[in-house]
Amino acid sequence: MSEIHRPEARVEPIDSTIEPVGGSATSKTKKVEEASLLADAWRSLRRNPWFIVSAVLLVLFLGMALFPQLFTNNDPRECLLGRSRQSPSAEHWFGTDVQGCDYYSRVIYGARNSIAVGFIVAIGTFIIAVVLGLVAGYFGSWVDAVISRITDMVFAVPYILGALVFLNVLESRGVREVAFVLIIFMWPTMTRLMRGSVISVVNSEFVLAARALGAGPITIMRRHILPNSLGPVIGYATVFTGIIIGAEATLTFLGVGLQLPAISWGLQLSDAQPFLQTVPHLLLFPVIFVGLTVFAFMTMGDAIRDALDPKSKK
Amino acid sequence: MTRYIIRRLLQFIPVILISTLIVYALVFAIPGDPIRALAGDRPMSDAVRETLREQYNLDDPFLIQYFKYIWGIVTALDFGSTFNGRPVTDIIEQRLPVTATLALVTLVIQTIMGIIAGILAALYRDRFFDRFVQVSTVTMVALPTLVIGFLLQLIFGLNLGWFPIAGVNNGISSYILPALTMAAVSTGILARLVRSELLDALKSDYVRTATAKGMKQTRVITRHGLRNSLIPAVTFIGADLASMLGGSIIVETIFNLPGLGQQVFASIQGQEGTVVVGIVTLFVLFFVVINLIVDLLYGLLDPRIRYE
């Protein structure tokens, strides 16, 4: 990342000494440079078939999470025990579940909780990772040592073990609790990535130049290091959202995630498992939806990372 | 070499101490009185409760409890016992074979499938097989374990009926679907890794020289190309084996295998801290030993690496 930016970025601090307020010249050059990077990334993204597929899927699932009413007219909570465990039909596309609820609408409404947990955890982790990674990578020495050792320690605990222990003792678990516990055990990977990314630019000439010109740590981090180190982290954050959606479904399936009466894919999976042999479609539909959602986020993240990484350009 | 191994073995001690301390702290943080849970609805006299709490060191502060635990392991190989009085070693002995078999079958599947798919994809670059490997690895890596497990259960267990859906009563064939589930993500990563490493190696000067000397293509690939490109693969397989605890909790629950992962899950729910710590310690031990083996394997694959 640093290699590509160095020429433009090196000019920047000089400009800012001439016009400390950030006059028209500075902002203009900056805009052009940013636009070209993003336009570059956008051009390579548009040509990537994986990006197209994942973007279509993401729009679909985000639509489902935000406006489930657009996809179904049925009320997922309207359940009639008399029509329990019906096979898919014209009336009930995915059949009905054990309680006799319309399964199609339940699966559609399940998107909201999964994606909510995914976004909350991804945003929370992103903030932690950027702050800790910047501080550790920029200041180095003992600050880095302390942050890195704590990161290593949390990293050593498999997230599923930690989450099981914590969530198991919580009496009532909603989106907030599950998201909180997932953040606690899953921040280290992204923080390590951010730290590595910061370290790879912190010794560049443009940072040295900015420091020589008297810029303070905050300015250097905000204006020079942050823009040049965020690329890989943004890509990973998208992949991470997918990982989290998978993790939430897993924890809920294991019985320590979301609880009834919440509508969630994980709950549908654990409810359907005993009926695997008799009513397999109860398992099949949530499996497909979780699978496609996670797939969409992870593939999208990979595509973004490749597009923002100048080394991967052909 | 011997000195190197001894030094590495000595380094195990702090790693294991710190990791058990973390897990012990985690389990210790669980609120609630396990002795009361043991009694259930029946009344329990204070004297009995006091004795039991004394016996399990429950009234000591956290660090004292931890040191007593470690001291028991070091002096008497005593890993503690459940609140029903069953030794943890007994449980591990009973559960270990299931998880070990699962891990072994997983390892064999992912190594063979991943490396072969990677080699063929690199050799037939941009042809149909390469495209097929690329699409399937992206898919495999991007699906959560849970989804892969259920899909395999539905397709190969229920629809085709090739393998048992759950349990361990059918010998090795019971382990095929769980192992495929555990192996899926790693096989995908491994295939991609081997493919890109081999492509790099095939472009290098020493491979061109070997070909120019008139060496047979297969020999060039196996002796020169592959050997160098396997080092990252070995690193990856090692790291992956080491992370099997998390995977085994999920897979053993989906396929109902009575292994260590399922036991950890059950013990967390039953607040049996000693069992959790015992099993996790075992996994950590496994982790550091695997790492040592991986480091020793480097020397075999790359003669430039020397152990001082």
Task: Indicate yes or no: CB of B144 within 8 angstroms of CB of A160.
Answer: no
B160 part of contact set with chain A, CB < 8 Å:
no
Q: Distance from B106 to chain A by nearest Cα, in Å?
A: 19
pLDDT digits (tens, 9 = 90+) for A72-109: 777 777 777 777 777 777 677 777 777 777 778 888 88
- Tell me which H or E stretch contains B308: none
Task: Indicate yes or no: CB of A161 within 8 angstroms of CB of B23.
Answer: yes
In the prediction, which pLDDT does A3 show? 40
Q: How many CB pairs under 8 A join A and B?
A: 99
Lookup result for tokens 């099949």: A284
Class for the domain spanning A33-312: mainly alpha
In the prediction, which pLDDT does A24 show? 45
Residues A103, A268: Cα–Cα separation, whole Å: 9
Which among A161, A247, A294 has the least Cβ separation from residue B280?
A161
Please, what is the average pLDDT of chain A?
Answer: 78
Identify the closest residue of chain B to A241 by CA–CA distance: B142
pLDDT digits (tens, 9 = 90+) for A125-169: 999 999 999 998 888 888 888 888 888 778 877 788 888 888 887
Q: Distance from A130 to chain B by nearest Cα, in Å?
A: 25
Q: Distance from A205 to chain B by nearest Cα, in Å?
A: 31
B268 to chain A: which residues are within 8 Å by CB?
Answer: 161, 164-165, 168
Residues B193, B110: Cα–Cα separation, whole Å: 13
In the prediction, which pLDDT does A312 show? 56
CATH of the domain at B96: 1.10.3720.10
In the prediction, which pLDDT does A183 show? 92
In the prediction, which pLDDT does A19 show? 44
Domain-wise residue ranges, chain A: 33-312
Q: Output the tens digit of pLDDT for each of chain A's 314 residues.
A: 344 444 444 444 444 444 444 444 444 454 445 556 777 778 878 888 888 888 898 898 888 888 877 777 777 777 777 777 777 776 777 777 777 777 788 888 888 888 899 999 999 999 999 999 999 888 888 888 888 888 877 887 778 888 888 888 777 888 888 899 899 888 888 998 898 888 888 888 888 888 888 888 888 888 888 888 888 888 888 888 988 988 888 888 888 888 878 888 888 888 877 777 777 788 888 888 888 888 888 888 888 888 887 665 44
B102 occurs within a structural domain? yes
- Which of A150, A287, A293 best probes binding to B when mutated, by most B CB atoms within 10 angstroms? A287
B44 occurs within a structural domain? no
- Which of A155, A161, A277 best probes binding to B when mutated, by most B CB atoms within 10 angstroms? A161
In the prediction, which pLDDT does B40 show? 63
Task: Indicate yes or no: CB of A298 within 8 angstroms of CB of B141.
Answer: yes
Identify the closest residue of chain A to B287 by CA–CA distance: A156
Residues A243, A249, A253: CA angle, nearest 5 degrees? 145
In the prediction, which pLDDT does A146 show? 86
Residues A251, B261: Cα–Cα separation, whole Å: 14
Domain span including residue B172: 91-301
Domain count, chain B: 1
A161 part of contact set with chain B, CB < 8 Å:
yes
Contact yes or no for A307/A37 (Cβ under 8 A)? no
Q: Which residues in chain B come in under a pLDDT of 70?
A: 29-42, 56-59, 84, 305-308
The model carries a pTM of: 0.80
B308 occurs within a structural domain? no
A274 CB-near residues (< 8 Å, 6+ apart):
none
- Which of B30, B146, B151, B240 best probes binding to A when mutated, by most A CB atoms within 10 angstroms? B146
B295 occurs within a structural domain? yes
pLDDT digits (tens, 9 = 90+) for B139-175: 888 888 888 888 888 888 777 878 777 777 777 778 8
Identify the closest residue of chain A to B263 by CA–CA distance: A161
Q: Distance from B27 to chain A by nearest Cα, in Å?
A: 7
